[in-house]
Amino acid sequence: MDRKSISEEEIKSQQTENGGWTKQTLAQWGVPWPPPKGWKEALLKTGVPFSA
């Protein structure tokens, strides 16, 4: 499966008003629920879809 890079700005743009992310948004990136510790750093490093 091809990975697509994602920027910190893209991740931040999807934050809710409360400063979190919805389960649906994380699922689009392949992040499991509840999101594991370090998921943002992993996305920035390896791209989408998420891999731990």
Q: What is the mean pLDDT of each run of 10 residues along the chain (52 residues)?
A: 91 97 98 97 96 81
Phi-psi region of 13 (alpha: psi -120 to 50; beta: other; left: phi over 0): alpha
Indicate the pTM of the whole model: 0.88
Locus of tokens 């920035």: 44
Distance of CA 41 to the CA centre of its chain: 9
Cα separation, 29 vs 42, whole angstroms: 11
Q: Cβ distance 30 to 1 under 8 Å? A: no
Residue ranges of domains in the chain: 21-52
Q: Cβ distance 3 to 46 under 8 Å? A: yes
